[in-house]
Amino acid sequence: MHIMARIGEPTVALRTYSGSCHCGAVRFQADIDLSEGTNKCNCSHCTKARTWFTFVKPERLRLIAGADAHTDYRWTPPGRPGPLLHHQFCKTCGVRTFGWGEHESMGGKFYFVAVASLDDVDPDELAAAPIKYADGRHDRFDQPPKDTRLL
């Protein structure tokens, strides 16, 4: 399904993707424009989890099943008053599906969807999506790290 933006928003073609964890307990739908890009970060969590994600506005993500199967991981980086992100994953199979955060620079609350959890994404479309790199390890989210080879 393709969705056009509302009046006053930039014109983008969104596609509704279905996603899930490995065991199927958590299922969701998200309206995503992959031409806007995907993201990889070099912070300690993203590096260890090999995170590849795309940002989604709250109104563009719908949990279909598994609210009770989702659990939450929050980490507070040194020097910060609290966690910025909620990394959600299935309690049964451990697969990360999506998470959320809230920050002014992102317009308030936002979601990030693990592209590996999308069930119906075309591999060619995903391979063609631009990748934006963030140097989260040094809190420079607006610029790429010096080395992106292993992200």
pLDDT at position 7, please?
44
- Hey, is 52 helix, strand or coil? coil
3-state secondary structure 53-105: EEEECHHHEEEEECCCCEEEECCCCCCCCCCCEEEEEECCCCCEEEEEEEEHH
Sheet with 27-32, side-by-side order of all strands:
2-4, 13-20, 27-32, 61-65
pLDDT at position 140, please?
83
Residue 34 is classified by DSSP as G
**pLDDT by position in tens, the chain (length 151):** 444 444 455 555 899 999 999 999 999 999 999 999 999 999 888 899 999 999 999 999 999 999 999 999 998 878 888 888 899 999 999 999 999 998 887 888 999 999 999 999 999 999 999 999 999 888 888 899 999 888 8
pLDDT at position 9, please?
54
pLDDT at position 30, please?
98
pTM, full prediction: 0.85
Q: Give all domains of the chain, ordered by start, each with its CATH number.
A: 2-138 (2.170.150.70)
| Residue 134 CB burial class (10 angstroms; 0-12, 13-18, ≥19) | buried
Beta bridge partners of 15: 2, 32
